[in-house]
Amino acid sequence: SDGSDGSSDMQIVAGTAPGFEPFEMTRDGELVGFDIDLLEAVVDETEYELAEWNEYEFDSLIPALENGNIDVIAAAMTITEDRQQSIAFTEPYYSANQSVLVQSGGDFAPEALEDLEDREVGAQSGTTGETVVQEQLIAEGLISDDQYTSYDNYVYAVQELERGLLDAIVIDEPVGATFADNRDVEVAFTFETGEEYGFGVQQDADDLEAALSEGIAAVRESGEYDEITQTWFDS
Ligand code: GLN
């Protein structure tokens, strides 16, 4: 379409999963955060137009993209080979590692994954934190299946950790640090996973992927990337 009817195929719909501060969250009823500002700035560099944001649980984002309900995922999503079987990613826009959260002021102070042996552990469904639990705790025999609880959203996991119903949560380090600032939990330790976040697109959306990747480079170049980082990380 030429766009004159207002329904140009250059319009794209973004999907995200709030509750992952400071990347995406709801404040005063409004969707805000690093990913929100960054994707909007990136799309501004392209011929595309961001028509709306739809909100999902994290583990529903890839199905929503595959179904065509959304065109792009902006949800601090790590680029993984597993996900690349079903979707494509832009160039990376943020680097992160994992952390382990525990209750503040408690006497449990793990320093490494081995110290989580026989503990109650939580993570958010479909995340790389959950993969760490499955591959490095359950598969290694450190905890049983029953000792792992998978949550739709990390917000619920943090609530249970505060109440002492969980011993530890595995979560992306920047988000774990933000929960530690705002809630009665603390980062016990971090461990390197070398994850890189990308915006997710459909596997055949080559033009959109290229445009967004160029847009990411442009906002890095213009200084806008640094401004957005300062807004959400240094305040
Ligand atoms: N970066 C992690 C992942 O991709 C967590 C993302 C999230 O929970 N929003 O799985």
pLDDT tens, 96-126?
999 999 999 989 999 999 999 999 999 999 9
In-domain check, residue 148:
yes
Cβ count near 233 (within 10 Å): 12
In-domain check, residue 45:
yes
Range of the domain at 78: 11-93+198-233
What CA–CA distance (Å, rounded) separates 235 from 227?
Answer: 12
Q: Which residues share a beta bridge with 50?
A: 12
What would the DSSP string read from start to end of 128-179? HHHHHIIIIIITTTSS-GGGEEEESSHHHHHHHHHTTS-SEEEEEHHHHHHH
| 185 and 224 belong to one structural domain | no
**What is the predicted pLDDT for the residue at 2?**
46
| 102 and 178 belong to one structural domain | yes
Kindly state if the Cβ of 103 falls inside 6 Å of ligand 1: no
Kindly state if the Cβ of 87 falls inside 6 Å of ligand 1: no
| 216 and 153 belong to one structural domain | no
| 73 and 100 belong to one structural domain | no
191: tokens are 């461990």
Residue 200 has pLDDT above 50, yes or no: yes
The CATH number for 148's domain is 3.40.190.10
Cβ count near 156 (within 10 Å): 14
Q: Whose CA is nearest to atom 5 of ligand 1?
A: 127
Kindly state if the Cβ of 185 falls inside 6 Å of ligand 1: no
Kindly state if the Cβ of 76 falls inside 6 Å of ligand 1: yes
Residue 235 has pLDDT above 80, yes or no: no
**What is the predicted pLDDT for the residue at 204?**
97
Q: Whose CA is nearest to atom 8 of ligand 1?
A: 127
Instruction: Name the average pLDDT for the chain.
Output: 96
